[in-house]
């Protein structure tokens, strides 16, 4: 909860800062996208990813962005990893974006930043003896986030964009076994959440 409160505090600070606009240049962006999340871990299946965000112009060609994203991935049992179930990943991203070419037809950019990755795992029903219940948990935590993209203006205030990005997150977790006779036992696991994204969306400039 302290980490979540911290990231929300950063977002509030960003909103409170009076970022300057340069002349007639647009100084704020709202965006929405959908795409695909390709997990590096072999027992996690690719999933549909969606997100919304906004950005502020710091100086010409630089944007400070906040993005809220979410996707689900199916897990298949593997030794020492997650059992069958569904992983829901909801990162809150804070990034700095630089447009290294700016014209009316094609605007490529790079971005780098960090994320607070909130993760939930729902294990599928398992066949066990009645006295034993098994569950797994994944911890929330920080991550590095990098990306490369481009936008194509379609009007003076709207652009289509495509982006390839990478989330670098390895999360500690644990397998919980509740035995009515022996009590609870915990076995640590490591969950590889490193993910490559392919995104498509629309940016609206204000």
110 bridge partner residues: 98, 148
Neighbours of 89 (CB within 10 A): 27
Q: Give the tens place of pLDDT for each residue, 85-95.
A: 999 999 999 99
User: Does pTM surpass 0.85?
Assistant: no
pLDDT at 22 exceeding the cut of 60 = no
Looking at per-residue pLDDT, the higher value among 94 and 26 belongs to: 94
Please report which confidence band the pLDDT of residue 25 belongs to, taking 50, 70 and 90 as the band edges.
Answer: low
Neighbours of 12 (CB within 10 A): 9
Nearest C-alpha neighbor of 39 from the set 74, 5, 12:
74
Q: Give the tens place of pLDDT for each residue, 95-142.
A: 999 998 877 789 999 999 999 999 999 999 876 667 788 889 999 999
Domains in the chain with CATH codes? 2-14+29-205 (2.40.160.20)
């Amino acid at each position: 909860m302290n980490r979540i409160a911290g990231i929300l505090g950063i977002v509030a600070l960003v909103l409170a800062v009076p970022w300057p606009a340069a002349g007639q240049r647009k100084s704020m962006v709202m965006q929405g996208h959908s795409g695909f999340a390709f997990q590096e871990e072999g027992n996690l299946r690719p999933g549909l990813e969606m997100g919304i965000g906004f950005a502020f112009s710091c100086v010409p060609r630089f944007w400070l962005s906040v993005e809220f994203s979410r996707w689900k991935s199916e897990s298949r049992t593997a030794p020492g990893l997650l059992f069958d179930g569904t992983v829901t990943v909801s990162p809150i991203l804070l990034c700095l974006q630089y447009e290294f070419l700016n014209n009316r037809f094609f605007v490529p950019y790079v971005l780098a930043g960090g994320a607070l990755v909130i993760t939930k795992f729902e294990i599928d029903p398992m066949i066990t003896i009645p006295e034993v219940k098994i569950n797994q948990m994944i911890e929330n935590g920080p991550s590095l986030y990098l990306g490369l993209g481009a936008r194509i203006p379609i009007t003076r205030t709207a652009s289509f964009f495509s982006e390839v990005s990478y989330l670098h997150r390895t999360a500690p977790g644990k397998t919980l076994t509740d035995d009515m006779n022996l009590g609870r036992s915990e076995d640590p696991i490591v969950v590889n959440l490193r993910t490559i994204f392919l995104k498509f969306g629309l940016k609206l400039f204000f």
